Amino acid sequence: MRAFKRRTDTGQTASPATVAAIEQTFTPRRVPEVDSVVSTSADGMALPKVGEVVDIPLARIEKSKYNARRIVAAARNEDLALSLEADRQLVPVAAFVMPNGRIGLIDGQRRFEAQRLRGAETLRCEIHEAPADNRALYLASRRANVERESQSPLDDALVWQDLLRDGIFASQAELAREVGTTETTVSRTLGLISIPTRFLHMIAERPDLQNLRMLDALKRYFDAAGEEAFERMIYEVDHKGLSSRDVDSRRKAIERGPVSRARSDQRELTFRNGQATLKHFEAQGRIQLQIDAVRDPEIAQKLRERLQQVLDEVLGSVDQQIAAGTD
């Protein structure tokens, strides 16, 4: 009979905080299918017991769709794979025995992917009590991630969508209450899903962009500008260090549209000591006259008198208009 390679002499235990977080979420196994699991799986492989640290073949490990971490930058997996190759896997992942005899991951998806990436055959697992249901499994995964290195809002958006769609949580309000945030935050986070997947992976490679304020600004910019401009914006934010306020300003400028300038029919008039400019803004019903370098007071006075005379003749004086209105 084949058996898992058992490792109880590693000297490496989970941190007290991790143990507390997992124990807080897990409940004693009450699901009949779990209680009915025997000591060996259907193919005759011995099953590990709760509390053991064992090397499990990767082929027998099953990742949960409700794991708190959904998007991981490829470069980070590669770095972790190199680290595991140099130092071996010192810290076991948290796992449990599923009713079908396979091993389910509670926490450790990155280590699983890194082991697979470097061609390893096994993953060291610490076996815990099986969670009561998928809700408990997600909350345990989330708490373990927050303790060590919190998942990003992108991870939250993708897994929260599945949790709500599958009825694991009945509403956004219930989800917000369970994860310790507000309904507004849940709603804003779920809104990130409208960003196409290829852009989500581009953002995942840039940790500085992975905060909800920046992601929300980028999402709004995407809605206003479209894919081509959005891709340029991701690079610009990354390389120029633009803030979320900068992104918001760019988006508002797009929403306002191009600034239209009033066009005029302009005529330049030159006289002995200076120049005059006459502009006619037909669309606005406006005529503008500017005369420069009129330094002689007598000439200036004659200009005022003649201009007033022209206005009176063409438009009618103010006094005439008032009188006409009282007849």
With contact defined as beta carbons under 8 Å apart, do 130 and 97 qualify? yes
With contact defined as beta carbons under 8 Å apart, do 168 and 134 qualify? yes
pTM for this one? 0.47
- What angle separates helix 153-165 from helix 134-148, to the nearest 10 degrees? 170
Q: How many angstroms separate the CA atoms of 154 and 269, rounded?
A: 64
CATH number of the domain that residue 144 is part of:
3.90.1530.10
Same domain assignment for residues 6 and 16: yes
Closest to 158 (Cα-Cα) out of 246, 67, 231: 67
C-alpha dihedral sign at 46, 47, 49, 54: positive
At residue 187, the pLDDT reads 92
Q: Is residue 327 part of a domain?
A: no
Instruction: Say whether 170 sits in a helix, a strand or coil.
Output: coil
Q: Is residue 323 part of a domain?
A: no
At residue 80, the pLDDT reads 45
Q: How many angstroms separate the CA atoms of 71 and 22, rounded?
A: 22
Q: Is residue 321 part of a domain?
A: no
Same domain assignment for residues 133 and 163: no
For residue range 134-143, what is the model confidence (pLDDT) as tens digits?
898 888 888 8
Same domain assignment for residues 105 and 65: yes
Same domain assignment for residues 183 and 163: yes
At residue 4, the pLDDT reads 42
Same domain assignment for residues 124 and 52: yes
Same domain assignment for residues 98 and 166: no
Q: How many angstroms separate the CA atoms of 186 and 192, rounded?
A: 10
Q: How many angstroms separate the CA atoms of 311 and 322, rounded?
A: 15
Tokens 């799986």 belong to which residue? 41
Angle at 43 between CA 37 and CA 49, to 5 degrees: 40
At residue 248, the pLDDT reads 93
Same domain assignment for residues 134 and 159: no
Q: Is residue 322 part of a domain?
A: no
- Percentage with pLDDT > 70 across the chain: 70
Q: Is residue 325 part of a domain?
A: no
Structure tokens at 245: 């306020």
Same domain assignment for residues 51 and 80: yes
Structure tokens at 109: 């998806």
Same domain assignment for residues 25 and 85: yes
With contact defined as beta carbons under 8 Å apart, do 158 and 85 qualify? no
Give the number of other CB atoms < 10 A from CB of residue 196. 13
Where a domain ends, among 94, 120, 150? 150
Q: How many angstroms separate the CA atoms of 211 and 203, rounded?
A: 11
Same domain assignment for residues 146 and 11: yes
Q: How many angstroms separate the CA atoms of 97 and 70, rounded?
A: 22
Per the structure, the count of domains in the chain is 4
List, in sequence order, every residue forming a beta bridge with 268; answer none if it has no partner. Answer: 277
Same domain assignment for residues 109 and 203: no
Gap between the terminal Cα atoms of the chain = 117
Q: Is residue 90 part of a domain?
A: yes
Where a domain ends, among 258, 287, 305? 258
Same domain assignment for residues 123 and 20: yes
With contact defined as beta carbons under 8 Å apart, do 110 and 80 qualify? yes
In single-letter form, the type of residue at position 187 comes to S
Q: What does each of the 327 residues of the chain score in pLDDT, given as a tens digit? A: 344 444 333 344 445 554 444 444 443 333 333 333 345 555 556 788 888 888 889 889 988 888 776 665 444 444 444 555 545 666 788 899 998 889 998 888 888 888 888 788 888 898 999 988 889 888 888 887 665 555 678 888 888 999 999 999 999 999 999 988 899 999 999 998 888 888 888 887 787 888 889 999 999 999 999 888 999 999 899 888 889 999 999 999 988 877 556 566 777 777 666 677 777 777 767 888 787 777 778 877 888 888 888 888 877 755 544 344 433
Tokens 């002689």 belong to which residue? 296
Q: Is residue 324 part of a domain?
A: no
With contact defined as beta carbons under 8 Å apart, do 70 and 155 qualify? yes
Give the number of other CB atoms < 10 A from CB of residue 70. 21
Q: Is residue 286 part of a domain?
A: yes
Tokens 């009590």 belong to which residue? 129
Structure tokens at 78: 């590669």
Closest to 117 (Cα-Cα) out of 64, 63, 76: 76
Full residue range of the structural domain in which residue 298 is found: 265-316
Structure tokens at 187: 């709603």
At residue 238, the pLDDT reads 87
